[in-house]
Amino acid sequence: MAEVGVRMDEPRIRVVVLNFNGGEMVVKALEHLVATDYPRDRIQVICVDNCSTDGSVALIEQRLPQVEVRSNESNLGFPGNNTALTDLDTFDYVALINSDAFVERDWLRPLVEAAEGELGLGAVCPKILLAPQFLEVSIRMGSDLFGTSEVRGQGVIVRGVRSEEQDVFVESNLGATGWGREADKNGVFEWSHRVSKIRIPVASTTADVVKVSLLLEAPEIRTVSIDGGCGAIERPVGKIAEWFEIDVRGESFDVLNNVGSSVLGDGYGVDNGYLERDNGQFDEPCDVFAWCGGAVLLRTAYLRDVGLFDELFFLYYEDTDLSWRGALRGWRYRTVPQSRVRHLHAASSIEASAVFARYTERNRLLMLFKNAPAPLVFRQIIRFVLITGSYVRRDVLLAVLHGRKPNFTTVCGRLASLFALGALTPKMVGKRRAIRSQRLVQDPELQAKMMNLRHLS
């Protein structure tokens, strides 16, 4: 590999934002980008539009004439970015920024300097923070709930969060003290642990006290202690969801979204640091297995070597797939935490939605089929089938036996993912052969990197 040389000019950068009905949000994201501290003649901002119908393209053209708009004829999902990745001959790097992500003015230069320092880096990753800052409210079950082990169902169900009368449930999170978002006939919800801390986004960091309301329910009446820093209150929570008001005081803080990505031993992709409080634990640059397409700087030589996003994926795992393909070719990826981007997580797709579940499960299997060692592929397909069978038993068979209405939502979604994998198998076989025949790094070395994870909750 050639030695790192000294440039006479700044590297030339293309920044790509993918839009689908982004409205004012995508305009705000682009406004942050055009204000980037970088020579104007060395940076180009392109918005790729996935056939939006909300008038956002007209807004962009009216307010930001310096931004080039390229329109796809249909909604191609995240691989729609490829429209701006095929003519990069005069560019050294291309950055991808989500339409719901907002860069800081000095975000780009630290990434460029890191990439320029080592030609083997295919991508460099900023620290991606959740867009707002947060205050914390503790939720603790009373002494009427016994037991020492943490089991789902021993906490309360959180169905809504308001801050100063504004609905902030989507942006709120329980971090590692929750069981993840789910959905039922009444909407999206999340179970807490017996002792939980819910993070509440705040619009202002200067208010002395913030008025917060929580919509809580439980399978039976439980005493719950809620404390926002102004003294705990105890209330009974029961089967009918009720709003509980509390004053919240404290110093607001940042929460991490992604600092590079990893792949677990079972083939699931994870965001490093996801929903951890930012205490500087990721402030030291390090190599990671994968990068996040929400905000990343890619070397154009890397894309020419490895290829672009797989258009069969549409949503989710397309960035991890491209990372894995590059890793098999010997490319490396590094975090650059000095570069910061704020992201409205799940603003464009709610995590508990059927769309999210269908594409994440299907695309995880597709990614493994293309890139992973054969034993891992077979184990995960068999495991997927067995788990689907357990959902059939729980949601359908047992429901019928106990006189309840069966719930086919999860079962049908998983079966759809499995059938899609079967239908795409012929194409995946060809892709897998091409990828595996061109690899420069063997599986044992790559799997060692996959398991070298830091700071995972």
Compute the Cα dihedral for 402, 408, 409, 412 and give only its sign. Answer: positive
Question: Mean per-residue pLDDT for 323-351?
Answer: 86
Q: What pLDDT sits at residue 279?
A: 95
Question: Mean per-residue pLDDT for 230-247?
Answer: 94
Distant-in-sequence, close-in-space partners of 253: CB < 8 Å, separation ≥ 6: 133, 134, 277, 278
Read off the pLDDT band of 2 (50, 70, 90): very low
Burial 216-250 (b: 16+ CB within 10 A, else e): bbbeeebebebbbbeeeeeeebeeebeebebebeb
Question: Mean per-residue pLDDT for 162-189?
Answer: 89
Residue 308 and residue 220 in contact, taking contact as beta carbons nearer than 8 Å? no
Read off the pLDDT band of 357 (50, 70, 90): confident
pLDDT per residue as tens digits for the range 276-290? 999 999 999 999 999
Q: What pLDDT sits at residue 347?
A: 42
Which residue type sits at 152? R
Rounded Cα distance between 133 and 201, Å, is 6
Q: Are strands 121-130 and 332-343 parallel, antiparallel or unpaired?
A: parallel
Compute the Cα dihedral for 410, 182, 81, 291 and give only its sign. Answer: negative
Beta bridge partner(s), residue 212: 163, 246
Q: What pLDDT sits at residue 413?
A: 86
Q: How do the domains of the chain map onto residue ranges?
A: 13-131+255-343, 133-202+206-248, 354-450
Residue 392 and residue 384 in contact, taking contact as beta carbons nearer than 8 Å? no
Distant-in-sequence, close-in-space partners of 97: CB < 8 Å, separation ≥ 6: 15, 16, 17, 29, 33, 103, 294, 295, 341
Read off the pLDDT band of 446 (50, 70, 90): confident
- Residue 345 pLDDT exceeds 80: no
Please give the model's pTM, rounded to 2 decimal places. 0.90
Q: Are strands 233-237 and 222-227 parallel, antiparallel or unpaired?
A: antiparallel
Question: Mean per-residue pLDDT for 139-166?
Answer: 80
pLDDT per residue as tens digits for the range 377-397? 999 999 999 999 998 998 899
Residue 357, phi then psi, degrees to nearest 5? -60, -45
Give SS3 for 115: helix
Indicate the DSSP class of residue 201: E
pLDDT per residue as tens digits for the range 104-132? 999 999 999 999 999 999 999 999 999 99
Rounded Cα distance between 76 and 309, Å, is 11
Residue 313 and residue 321 in contact, taking contact as beta carbons nearer than 8 Å? yes
Question: Mean per-residue pLDDT for 288-312?
Answer: 97
pLDDT per residue as tens digits for the range 420-440? 999 999 999 999 999 999 999
Read off the pLDDT band of 298 (50, 70, 90): very high
CA distances from 127 to 23, 268, 334 (A): 25, 21, 11
- Residue 223 pLDDT exceeds 50: yes
Residue 248 and residue 200 in contact, taking contact as beta carbons nearer than 8 Å? yes
Give SS3 for 79: helix
Residue 290: count of CB within 10 angstroms of its CB: 28
Q: How far is CA 418 from the centre of its chain?
A: 23
Residue 259 and residue 286 in contact, taking contact as beta carbons nearer than 8 Å? no
Question: Mean per-residue pLDDT for 174-193?
Answer: 88
Q: What pLDDT sits at residue 143?
A: 61
- Residue 358 pLDDT exceeds 80: no
Distant-in-sequence, close-in-space partners of 366: CB < 8 Å, separation ≥ 6: 310, 312, 313, 317, 321, 421, 424, 428
- Residue 349 pLDDT exceeds 70: no
How would CATH label the architecture of 13-131+255-343? Alpha-Beta Complex (3.90)
Read off the pLDDT band of 180 (50, 70, 90): confident
Residue 323 and residue 289 in contact, taking contact as beta carbons nearer than 8 Å? yes
Question: Mean per-residue pLDDT for 407-416?
Answer: 87
- Residue 312 pLDDT exceeds 60: yes
CA distances from 231 to 234, 248, 368 (A): 10, 9, 50
Percentage of the chain beyond pLDDT 70 is 92
Rounded Cα distance between 393 and 292, Å, is 36
pLDDT per residue as tens digits for the range 45-55? 999 999 999 99
